[in-house]
Structure 1
Amino acid sequence: MHGRLKPLLAALAFAACTTAQATDRLQSLVDETIRPVMKEYDIPGMAVAISHNGQAHYFNYGMARLDDRQPVTRDTLFEIGSLSKPLTATLAALAQSTGKLTLNDRAGQHWPELQGSPLAQASLLDLGTYTAGGLPLQFPDSVTDPASLLAYYRQWQPEHSPGTYRRYSNPSIGLLGFLAARSMGQPFPSLMQGTLFPALGMQHSYIQVPDQQMPRYAYGYSKENQPLRVTPGMLDAEAYGVKTNARDMLRFIQANLNPAGLSIELQRAIAITQTGYYRIGEMTQGLGWERYPYPISLERLQAGNSPAMVLEAQPAKRLLPPEFAPGDSLFNKTGSTGGFGAYALFVPSQQLGLVLLANKNYPNAARIEAAYALLRALDSASSAPE
């Protein structure tokens, strides 16, 4: 596995290249990192996007759809699963920065039908940081419509005192997105597609892919290479529903690296999502984003994205006051649906960010190792003496 770290050996040579040579070398670095991953996990197609010192670079591999052999391009639409969560969090933070809500509001303030239930007293911050008391990873199968959704939330009983444990949960951050949309007076998909995506310059990102964009929508694939797309579910749009391309996702990463060109309200929203609210081991939980000190070892970054962090409740320490990102931090988020696997990270102090989109759900550890190899190579190149 660690053989994929070989691109680090080329970092100094990369730094000494001319612009044209550097572009070719970067292509080689990405090829050397991504092609073995695709071969090992039988991934039909991948799109890689890198932002390095403000410059965008795109690298495309394989097939978006096996049936018609359509190649992956920077415009191919991928499901990004839980990598949607930082976008949901950005919408909620925008609702705060425009005065529609505050993260200290209680859920019951924005959904009066919850009154009388324990969840009514959970704060919106609790929901966005998975610390409301133990909401599960997924809804039970019985939650299939708005009535059963409300009934589930009303009868739910916490396993822990709010703010003491983090348990990663789609029903938790999904409810944050739902309540943020209620506060803004429009359906969640309309706000994402009509307000947030345009404000971020994400011109081809969707909750519901329009008919004219369907030819660009990749198929995901099972282990047996059967075509898959995400199955609709309650609050799926809010928790894991974004379909986007490498170009748009890199725009989102660049907005997080350098938000200066955005509206003041959106700049504030991005700062809210990058703020640290809880410490869970070596990871600091922001709103959507998960943060680590940088530099960081590969092993620590993989541990923070391990199955245990997804499936088990972890003790959480509240940061009071909340901790705005220190200068040297790495932010990241994984995302998966049945047929897709995504990963994104960025390091503001190094002006580095990258996105990996694939139409197969392959292990998080492999995604992180590939991204880490590219990150370290580019970081080393940036810091090499001239």
Structure 2
Amino acid sequence: MKHTLKKYAISALLLGAGSCMAATDMRQVVDSHVTPLMKQQGIAGLTVAVVQHGRVQYFNYGVAAKDTQAPVTENTLFEIGSVSKTFNATLGGYAQAIGKLKLSDMTSQHLPVLAGSAFDRISLLQLATYTPGGLTLQFPDAADSATTMMEYFQHWKPTYAPGEQRLYSNPSIGLFGYATAKSLGLPFTVAMEKTLLPKLGLTNTYTRVPADKAGLYAQGYDSQQKPVRVNPGALDFEAYGIKSSSQDLARYVIANMHPQTLEQPVQQAIATTHAGYYTVNGMTQGLGWERYPYPVALQALLEGNSTPMAMEPHKVNWLKPAQAQPANVLYNKTGSTGGFGAYVAFVPSKDMGVVILANKNYPNAERVKVAYAILSAMDN
């Protein structure tokens, strides 16, 4: 095992084929990576769900809150940050599947308040894939509320031609979710909690945590170990505001790998999120999800989830038509709020995936390394 774990640490290692791994062996793999990570990063609580061939193993560490010392379990609710974007995207795919919108529609077609603005020429697909022309990562402070965001969008001018550059953006995919909800005739939170989540079989995932579930909601901690929870902001639920558990996200991973078990419109929605719309370096952009050819090198995942990918514009190469899910790919998405860090990755062709949730925001690279080691162990 020592030799195997050392082998997993080599950044150029390619994930290959393998079979199901015993629970005791997986415990050793997960412990050996998570225990030092939590100490190094000052993480109070963390949960890992390992999905393989329809079976799920849970590995829970530390506490959900320091004051109560409540232990983390697979039912503990964590803020999942931008993993929320994959739910937003799936809702959009569902709206398209039932005929409420087309990704090729111009944004102002569904949001008349934006008629006469740049969004007459920006498609829903461009919003969902961060290519409207330079919407930045966050709203300006003055626009970061439900009452001020539309005026911001009405006056916003693209820096680049729509569809030309990828610039990762909460306002961009957030507006996509907002337009999707409008097409369904529902507030986003209602469309998510009453329509999509039940259809995915998720029972412990929320936009707003209900009062009777408050005891499950982990306390997040910032870099100074001060308690923090996600702040309200413009399009927060659409872009980064969902809370979920490792158990529900494991179900979500299984649904993504086995959509044939779901009703037809949801199957179509998942296929829409898994499609490839353009490439940037070694990454192919889906809706919400980001995908890589499989086997994949650790370095490719680190680069795809790096700060430059989140903060800098990148020229895109559109795939026309959009490319359906290839035979061998890995999907992943990171998510962060002020006090939480999340990572989800899965490989449909190998029927395996991993969910990592923590009540501290720590570097994406560390999450990717742990997940990579776990996936490698399953596929060894």
The alpha-carbon deviation at position 282 of structure 1 amounts to 0.7
- Report matched runs for 1:160-239 at 5 Å: 160-239=160-239
Aligned to 1:359: 359
Q: CA deviation at 1:4?
A: 10
For 1:140 and 1:50, the matched residues in 2 are separated by: 38
Report the Cα distance in structure 2 between the residues aligned to 1:211 and 1:328, rounded to whole angstroms.
42
CA contact (8 A) 1:4 1:370 kept: no
**Are residue 96 (structure 1) and residue 99 (structure 2) matched?**
no
Deviates more, 1:140-149 or 1:200-209: 140-149
CA shift for structure 1 position 124: 0.3
Aligned mates of 1:373, 1:145 — CA distance in 2: 40
Provide the rounded CA distance (Å) in 1 between the counterparts of 2:33 and 2:233. 35
User: Aligned partners of 1:147 and 1:68: how far apart in 2?
Assistant: 37
Provide the residue aligned with 2:12 in structure 1: none
2:152 corresponding residue in structure 1:
152
SS at 2:374 equivalent: helix
Partners of 2:4 and 2:249 in 1: CA distance: 24
**C-alpha displacement at 1:109, in angstroms?**
0.3
Contact kept, 8 Å, 1:119 with 1:156, in 2: the verdict is no
CA distance in 1, matches of 2:308, 2:76: 32
Q: How does 1:1-386 map to 2 (within 5 A)?
A: 5-6=5-6, 8=8, 22-380=22-380
TM-score normalised according to structure 2 size: 0.95
Mapped contact 1:114–1:120 kept (Cα < 8 A): yes
* Inter-partner Cα distance in structure 1 for 2:135 and 2:331: 24
Matches of 2:189 and 2:221 in 1, distance apart? 25
Per the TM alignment, residue 146 of structure 1 is displaced from its structure 2 partner at its CA by: 3.7
Aligned to 1:383: none
Give secondary structure in 2 for the equivalent of 1:181: helix
Indicate how the Cα distance of structure 1 residues 4 and 120 shifts in structure 2: closer, same or farther if over 3 A, else same: farther
Alpha-carbon spacing, 1:38–1:285, altered in 2? closer, same or farther (3 Å): same
Q: Distance in 2 between matches of 1:195 and 1:7?
A: 44
C-alpha distance in structure 1 between counterparts of 2:19 and 2:317, whole Å: 41
Provide Cα deviations, 1:247-299, integer angstroms capped at 9, x if missing partner.
Answer: 10111111111111100000000000000001111100000000101111111
List, as ranges, runs of 4+ consecutive aligned residues in structure 1 with deviation greater than 2 Å.
3-9, 14-17, 144-147
Cα deviations by residue, 1:5-37 (Å, 9 ceiling, x for unpaired): 43849x9xx9697xxxx1211112111121111
Counterparts of 2:60 and 2:32, CA distance in 1: 13
* CA pair 156-15 structure 1, distance change in 2 beyond 3 A: closer
Label 1:266 to 1:222 Cα distance change in 2 as closer, same or farther (>3 A): same
Check the 8 A contact 1:100/1:184 in 2, yes or no.
Answer: yes
8 Å Cα contact 2:44/2:63 also seen in 1: yes
Is the partner of 2:33 in helix, strand or coil?
Answer: helix
Higher helix share: 1
Aligned residues of 2:294 and 2:328 also touching (Cα < 8 A): yes
Q: Distance in 2 between matches of 1:354 and 1:335?
A: 14
CA, structure 1 residues 145+336, in 2 after alignment: closer, same or farther (shift >3 Å)?
Answer: closer
Amino acid at match of 2:241: G
* Other structure's SS at 1:32 match: helix
Amino acid at match of 2:304: G
Identity %, equivalent residues: 49
Once residues 83 and 24 of structure 1 are traced to their aligned partners in structure 2, the CA distance between those partners, rounded to angstroms, is: 29
> For residues 218-237 of structure 1, what are the alpha-carbon distances to aligned partners after superposition, in whole Å with 9 as ceiling and x for unaligned?
00101221111000001001
User: TM-score if structure 1 supplies the norm length?
Assistant: 0.93
Does structure 2 conserve the Cα–Cα contact (< 8 Å) formed by 1:4 and 1:33?
A: no
SS of residue in 1 equivalent to 2:73? coil
Give the Å deviation of 1:120: 2.6
Q: How far apart, CA to CA, are the structure 1 residues paired with 2:195 and 2:7? A: 40
Give 3-state SS (helix, strand or coil) of 2:64's partner: strand
Letter in 1 for 2:114: L
CA RMSD of aligned residues (A): 1.8
2: distance between equivalents of 1:96 and 1:15? 37
Q: CA deviation at 1:145?
A: 3.8
Report SS of the residue matched to 1:70. Answer: coil
Contact 1:44 1:359 in 2 (8 A): yes
SS at match of 1:370: helix
Deviations 1:136-159 (A, max 9, x none): 100000014444211100111101
What runs of 5+ residues in structure 2 fail to find an aligned partner?
A: 10-14
CA contact (8 A) 1:51 1:353 kept: yes
Instruction: Flag the 1:36–1:4 CA change in 2: closer, same or farther, 3 A.
Output: farther
Q: Hey, what's the Cα distance between the residues in 2 that align with 1:199 and 1:16?
A: 29
Of residues 195-204 and 170-179 in structure 1, the stretch that sits farther from structure 2 once superposed is 195-204
1:86-135 deviation per Cα after TM superposition (whole angstroms, max 9, x unaligned): 01000010000010001001101001111111123210000000011010
Return the offset for 1:341.
0.2
- CA distance 1:164–1:144, change in 2 (3 Å): closer
SS in 1 for 2:148: helix
Cα 1:75–1:127, aligned 2, differ >3 Å: closer, same or farther? same
Shift of the alpha carbon at 1:50? 1.1
Whichever residue aligns with residue 131 of structure 1, its letter is: T
Deviations 1:151-180 (A, max 9, x none): 100111101111111000000000000000
